[in-house]
A and B are shown apart, each in its own frame.
Chain A
């Protein structure tokens, strides 16, 4: 179809109710960078975007801001924390992973680190959140990849607070790629954030928020932008649900 025939459908498309064949046609025009349709859709989107600003105001909890910043801080750098803090924390974590899995020692170490550092607001939030997951009353620990050369580590799942993944032997992702964590529930994988591993193959990733009824936590290698569904075979998957039951 030509642009003129699509003109009447720009707004329908922008609000999400365009029907076939116009919907696919508009997509095709946008895909080939059709100037006319791009201009038209931009304009239609402006009208639609304005609708979003007419809702009754509501105020999120103050904790949400911290939560969002903390989840980015964790994803952003290797651990998201000041280097010395990361080092202390990492040592405790990997000790727990590789030397007998004493979560209690780990929690104690973490508590110490937390007390020592009260200045780094964002970073401390990340530590606090990791701490909350590690020590949650409902937290379960799953060890994966034991005795293998492949990635191994532990997954801490607190249904009420989130997932903390600690892994070793995870070689740094190729350029343009990153690891993506998935929370598997009822056969469906939900994206749970991107992360990178350190040159030594260690990695840590945390996803905050309720993760009720998690069946498994898995990791795949994806393009850096992330995927909405896994596009490759998981490097590892830690079954969670079976453990709880």
Chain B
């Protein structure tokens, strides 16, 4: 059962000043970032790599990467949480793929060249209220829809790889993926205003 872990995460109301302090290289700001998002980052990475020791290494890489690249972030707009989670997910999936001997995908572009793209997110996107909405939206998906989304999100599989893994035709998988994403978009429309 999925528990909305983000309920434990404080509303990110002062992320803006946190980002500004990180940009001024204030190590205490990193400590606060860790206190705010360390658990959710670790939880996400453990879910992907399923090994606590490896997950801790990857959490460290994640925070260092964000620390080293925070200059590209717009502190006036920013909620840093979603960016941090994207970096965490990419680190974890890269690890998973290299451990499995699969080709690494070039995710760096999305995550590091354009951190600005994470900036407009609503400040409380990681709030408990939303976590509950997301949980219920995911639970409303059909089992196949949920499965393809999990394989894509937590294992970083391509649609072709998902088809292989599930032993289903690629066309069927593509239909499920699209339907799942559409359902999530519709369900979360109120959560994530345009």
Contact = CB atoms under 8 A, between A and B. Distances in A.
A48 B111 CA distance: 13
Interface stretch (A53-61, A110-118, A147-155, A166-174): A53-61
A196 to B, nearest CB: 12
Interface in A110-153: 122
A57 B8 contact: yes
Interface residues of B, number: 80
Contacts of A102: none
Interface in A12-62: 12, 15-17, 19, 27, 30, 38-39, 41-61
B21 interface: no
B46 A52 contact: no
A11 B185 contact: yes
Interface in A157-213: 193-194, 208-210
A228 interface: yes
A69 B27 contact: yes
Contacts of B53: 210
Given A19-B159, A59-B42, A72 B149 contact: no
B52 to A, nearest CB: 7
Nearest to B93: A16
B152 A16 contact: yes
A89 B108 CA distance: 37
A46 B82 contact: yes
A57 B37 CA distance: 12
B96 to A, nearest CB: 12
Say what secondary structure dominates the interface of chain A: helix
B166 interface: no
B159 A17 contact: yes
Given A50-B192, A53-B4, A53-B9, A225 B68 contact: yes
30 contacts: A11-B181, A15-B149, A15-B181, A17-B158, A38-B117, A42-B117, A42-B120, A45-B118, A47-B181, A47-B188, A49-B85, A49-B125, A50-B188, A52-B86, A52-B88, A52-B153, A53-B126, A55-B2, A55-B5, A55-B47, A56-B5, A58-B46, A58-B55, A60-B55, A68-B30, A68-B59, A69-B30, A72-B63, A209-B57, A225-B69
User: Which of A11, A51, A208, A225 has the most CB atoms of chain B within a 10 A radius of its CB?
Assistant: A51
A71 interface: yes
Given A16-B107, A42-B120, A60 B42 contact: yes
A139 to B, nearest CB: 19
A42 B57 contact: no
Contacts of B72: 225
A30 B114 CA distance: 9
Contact of A56 (B43, B153, B158): B43
Contacts of A27: 109
Contacts of B4: 53-54
Contacts of A49: 81-82, 85-86, 118, 121, 125-126
Nearest to B148: A17
A161 to B, nearest CB: 12
A65 B8 CA distance: 18
Interface in B70-109: 71-72, 81-82, 85-86, 88-89, 93, 105, 107-109
A30 B115 CA distance: 12
B130 interface: yes
Contact of A43 (B35, B81, B194): B194
A231 interface: no
Given A64-B56, A210-B57, A56 B47 contact: yes
Contacts of A57: 3, 5, 8, 39, 43
Interface in B16-68: 25, 27, 30-31, 34-35, 38-40, 42-44, 46-47, 52-53, 55-57, 59-60, 63-65, 67-68
A226 B113 CA distance: 12
A27 B27 CA distance: 34
